[in-house]
Structure 1
Amino acid sequence: MRIIINAVLLILSITSCAQDSTQINMKTLSDISNLYQEITHYPIEPHYGIYVSSSNTNFEVRINDIPVFLEYEFITNDISPKGSYFPINLAISKSGIQKIEVRMYPSYNRETQQLETSLNNAQVIIDVVKREYNTSKKEYGDEEVLLNLSSPIEKNKVSKKTKFIYPELKEYIFDANFEALVPYDIKILEKAQNLITTDPEEIKKITEELLIAYNEIWQIYDQNKVSQYADLIYNKEKRAAQQLFFSESDSKKRVEQLLTSGRIVKEGYKMMSFKNFKLRFYANGKIVTLVYDEIGQVGRNKSVLRSKGDSRKSYYSLFYKPINSDEFILY
């Protein structure tokens, strides 16, 4: 009996040590706020971005097959002016030729509560721009337009109005290339498995495996486990800090954005259950995610990891699986 008791105590001691070691190695919000010390800075730091204008279309913009802009379930009448700026460095892993792709789909009509039957009068215009930050002078240079990309249109000679030249289509995809020169080289996806498949059984299998990771994160968010949250997102945040060349103020500001009054999920909001979702592949199969997929509802094609309060909020959930690993990791 004494031998058994001693063995049990030994096992408990080993388990306790392992847990203590895990706790010691866990990253904290303090670590994230100090990420500016962990990244490399350069004399010239290039920042790439896009400006988006659109009319009468649901659409998304991808850089190197990574989503940088998603807009679904809306309808407008006129082309909007030069739109908001969206940084795209997070989709650029190294210097070279980058691919930008725009995927257009019929817009959602709030009056009929149905998708339009075609892309009639649809239009998207994208400007790819670059600004360089001089670290010694601590100032940005002028903004440079690298590429102007537009859905094909024709102009009425009388009215001078423009219209999409393929109004009968229900989908239109167009793309172009531009060159980016960045001083970093992010190799994460080079070491990731290519999971892309069209086989229904394989899609089901990947979805079920991915749901395990989603459920674990759901619990962290729902129970406001801040320490586990910080450890979960640390590597993702470190990659982003490098690609965006975070300064000390950037890092501090980022930590402030991660929580609201000390909470992962804003007070008064509740995590939503997983339903009406589908598996999506990005980065040519190296990234997977589960997205909400109900026509006419806010958040379509955005993360199925969501909360609901006065409005609905989607949370980042792009995953990759390293080669020779069964674990899904936040990208």
Structure 2
Amino acid sequence: MIYEPYYTIEFSAAACYFEILINDIPVISMETTGQVSTNIPINYAIYKSGEQLITATIKAISGQQDLNSEAALRFNVRLMDVANNEFKHVNDFAETIFEKVGKDQKTPSLTIASAFVAEIPYTLTKWNDGENLNDVEKLGEKLIAQYNNLAELLESEKYSEFIDKIKTRERNMATSMYLSASESKDRIDSLIEEAKNGFKVMPLPADTTLKFYGYGKLVTLKKSNGEPAFYLFNKETKEELMLEQMFYVPKGKTELEII
């Protein structure tokens, strides 16, 4: 019996912008002109046991209209049991591989879908219980107002109010990742420390657009290159700290909340 199933997705990509979604929740999006490979946790995108849908897309890198002939993406889901703070390998699911684009083939993007079956012991606050965002009036204005409020809270050092805004997201993350109370607190404290030590909220970029996920029940703001539009910057170290926040409208409510 697996007491604390811990799902990750292992991937390798080259010469493309790529995005991988689990149940229409983005777990990784990145542009690489060379090669990149790693393994990342995905439990937070699994909200119920059963079949989980993976959708992956590769696109031409910035400045190009079509996919490079070297564009590549391959990935597979892995299952570990992390009970008692041990990482025990349990299973690897089938690998998915994009076919290479021919040198004479002109296409700006490719998409592929696959699935795997997961069993989870936890319960999350579910985004799919929210309202359809197409029914929300002035959604763009409301979303920008939410981002401006987050920025104001950080800039005015109202950290307890900022933490209250992200509490549902952090509770979901702690639950799905089996974090202890102290580990969950450390996650939040680390972010606040960055804000206190030189990281400042940057204005939303001019190329900011609304991006919908969760089959139309989640929304966020993104740059044109797929990065979160809400980010902090440290002028001394030249480092960026990107804060991707997903918003939804809980059933029966009218205002956006972070989840």
Normalising by structure 1, report the TM-score.
Answer: 0.71
Structure 1 counterpart of 2:46, from 92, 97, 115 = 92
Tell me if structure 2 keeps the 8 A contact 1:119–1:166: no
Structure 1's unaligned 5+ residue stretches are 1-41, 109-113, 154-162, 294-299
Hey, which of these two has a bigger chunk of strand by percent? 2
Structure 2 counterpart of 1:49, from 3, 8, 11 = 8
Residues of 1 paired with 2:168 and 2:160: CA distance? 14
Sequence identity percentage: 25
Structure 2's unaligned 5+ residue stretches are none
Q: Offset at 1:227?
A: 1.3
Q: Offset at 1:191?
A: 2.0
Q: Does residue 1:141 correspond to 2:88, yes or no?
A: yes
Structure 1 vs Structure 2 CA RMSD: 2.4
Structure 1 counterpart of 2:231, from 291, 296, 306 = 306
Change in CA separation of 1:322 and 1:75 when aligned onto 2, cut-off 3 Å: same
Q: Does residue 1:290 correspond to 2:217, yes or no?
A: no
Q: Offset at 1:134?
A: 3.2
Aligned to 1:85, the other structure's residue is in SS state strand
Q: Give the aligned partner of residue 178 of structure 1.
A: 116
Q: Does residue 1:117 correspond to 2:42, yes or no?
A: no
Q: Give the aligned partner of residue 22 of structure 1.
A: none
Alpha-carbon deviations, 1:21-70, whole Å to 9, x = none? xxxxxxxxxxxxxxxxxxxxx97010001111011111111000000001
Structure 2 counterpart of 1:241, from 167, 174, 180 = 174
Q: Offset at 1:117?
A: 3.3
Residues of 2 paired with 1:290 and 1:182: CA distance? 30
Tell me if structure 2 keeps the 8 A contact 1:152–1:164: no
Normalising by structure 2, report the TM-score.
Answer: 0.89
Q: Which one has the largest radius of gyration?
A: 1
Residues of 1 paired with 2:67 and 2:154: CA distance? 39
Aligned to 1:75, the other structure's residue is in SS state strand
Aligned to 1:84, the other structure's residue is in SS state strand
Residues of 1 paired with 2:116 and 2:165: CA distance? 33
Q: Offset at 1:119?
A: 3.8
Residues of 1 paired with 2:210 and 2:115: CA distance? 27
How many residues align structurally?
255
